[in-house]
Amino acid sequence: MKTIDELLGEGVEGKRVFVRADLNVPLDGTTITDDGRIRAVVPTVKALADAGARVVVASHLGRPKGAPDPAFSLAPAAARLGELLGTEVAFATDTVGESARATVAGLADGRVAVIENLRFNAGETSKDDAERDAFAGQLAALADVYVGDGFGAVHRKHASVYDLPGKLPHAAGYLITTEVGVLKKLTEDVRRPYAVVLGGAKVSDKLGVIDHLLEKADRILVGGGMAYTFLKAQGHEVGISLLQEDQIPAVKEYLARAADKGVEFVLPVDVLISTEFPDLKTKAPAHPTTVAADAIPADQEGLDIGPETRKLYASKLADAATVFWNGPMGVFEHPDYAEGTRAVAQALVDSPAFSVVGGGDSAAAVRILGFDENAFGHISTGGGASLEYLEGKQLPGLVALED
């Protein structure tokens, strides 16, 4: 695929360049609580603006129902992008309507605009090819060139990700080229030992990547809510912990395959438990109890890995040469259940391994818990996209950028 450096070499001065970014940041009202995805697109936007392009930035945010919804406006993200760029960023209050057309028409060379949430138009996410193509055509009318840099959305067959690149000359931005380069290090010529840490709520979200990584990883460490389905599959009581009963047969199969292939599968040996889920707004003390992973009472739920598991996981990561981590070890948003996730992050910081934090909640946790992002090999902006790439799937947004 053509890179942004090649595009810049051809000259973009005076051209309208449509940058499909991923500004899908978490909001508390209108306050951005983690601006990592906005910061990630700044190098591409700045390079284009410095080269004299008229930059039109577009993204989705949240899951509006194909119609305008103020709760999902990109206005806060546009304002933050302007702060990071150190320049005023114009904002269009619609996607392809009068405001978008006027805002883009008013851009001078080297200036930047953000158009409103793409998902305010039903054509963005439509499963009907014609409807999606029609919306892509309206977007194409706003630009002369397309740059794909929203890695967090490349696994979606959406109008701005998949259909639009085919209507304009196109190139991959710095973020996408970086992300793909990193993921190749996890799938091609991997330095070993190769350890994978998987957490988060649902086993079903990780089945595909576990299946694929059983052919590549040397050890797989499991935490978070998904761990309780693995513990149940081993015959242990998990109380009222998060559990996907329907996934137990698949989990048993993976544990058997791992044993056959010599892949070390590491599960929690102790957990923090409580009779109720913690209050994430007040952060009121939760007073958890620590028990062995095979001794969870029937009326309790596991909410984080315990201290012995933290030590065990740190030891399993200490000698790794490559580590991929996706998913927190517990309810890290509450201080009483953050230590498991903190321990994994610290183990990656302490390890000489090439470490990749696979986006989503893991990336948010690293920042919320106060770690220096530069202490990790790479922090991805796309959890779902990273997982699907590691599953060996073709990602529509990357296919669309191929020449």
| More confidently predicted of 344 and 189 | 344
Mean pLDDT of the chain: 95
Nearest to 146 by CA among 164, 163, 134, 162: 164
Annotated binding residues, written as ranges, equal 22-24, 37, 60-63, 119, 156, 206, 302, 333, 359-362
- H or E segment and range at residue 121: none
Handedness of CA 4, 109, 106, 69 (dihedral sign): positive
pLDDT in tens, 269-314: 999 999 999 999 999 999 999 999 999 999 999 999 999 999 999 9
Which pLDDT score, from 0 to 100, does residue 381 have?
A: 87
One of 202, 252, 311, 393 is an active-site residue; which one?
202
pLDDT reading at 3 higher than 90: yes
Annotated binding residues for ATP, written as ranges, equal 206, 302, 333, 359-362
The model's pTM: 0.89
Strands (E), 307-353: 322-326
User: What is the rounded (10 degree) CA torsion for 122, 126, 129, 131?
Assistant: -10
Measured distance CA(232)–CA(238) in Å, rounded: 6
Beta bridge partners of 32: 27
User: Poorest-confidence range of 41-50, 127-136, 329-338, 353-362?
Assistant: 353-362
> 202 catalytic, yes or no?
yes
> 384 catalytic, yes or no?
yes
One of 152, 223, 225, 360 is an active-site residue; which one?
360
Annotated binding residues for substrate, written as ranges, equal 22-24, 37, 60-63, 119, 156
Q: C-alpha 183: how far from its chain's center?
A: 13
The mean pLDDT value for 215-220 works out to: 95
Which pLDDT score, from 0 to 100, does residue 189 have?
A: 82
One of 36, 152, 200, 384 is an active-site residue; which one?
384
> 157 catalytic, yes or no?
no
One of 16, 37, 157, 232 is an active-site residue; which one?
37
The mean pLDDT value for 196-203 works out to: 93
pLDDT in tens, 43-60: 999 999 999 999 999 999
The mean pLDDT value for 371-388 works out to: 90
